Amino acid sequence: MTMKLAEDDIDFALKSLPGWSKVAGREAIARNFRFKNFNEAFAFMTRVAMKAEKMDHHPEWFNVFNRLDVTLATHDVDGLSDKDIELARYMNKIAG
């Protein structure tokens, strides 16, 4: 069962997630990624999509050319869970 993270756990996790921050007005985290071109952005999204599908946890995202804006939240718990932190870490790792 997925559990909602406490505020202290979220703050602690964000210290090790460069680029990610809390979203104002809702319990979620977000990051903006920039790539050299659309192909790099799309390749990144494809890798994330494969991981997300395995996790059964899918990001909210918006892509235009080389820009990707990502928001993570766990709808089942109406907030953040370990799934969000795991997916954010994965994104940071493959973004380089």
Q: Look at 12 and 1; give whichever has higher pLDDT.
A: 12
pLDDT at residue 78 in the model:
94
Give the dihedral sign, CA 90/58/82/79: positive
CA 41 to chain centre: 15
Q: Delineate the domains of the chain, giving CATH numbers in brackets.
A: 7-95 (3.30.1360.20)
Query: By percentage, how much of the chain surpasses pLDDT 70?
Result: 100
Q: Which residues on adjacent β-strands are paired with residue 61?
A: 70
Q: Dihedrals φ, ψ of 61, to 5°?
A: -150, 160
Q: What is the pLDDT of residue 1?
A: 79
Sign of the four-CA dihedral 5, 22, 64, 68: negative
Condensed to tens digits (0 to 9), the pLDDT of residues 39-81 reads: 999 999 999 999 999 999 999 999 999 999 999 999 999 999 9
pLDDT at 23: 98
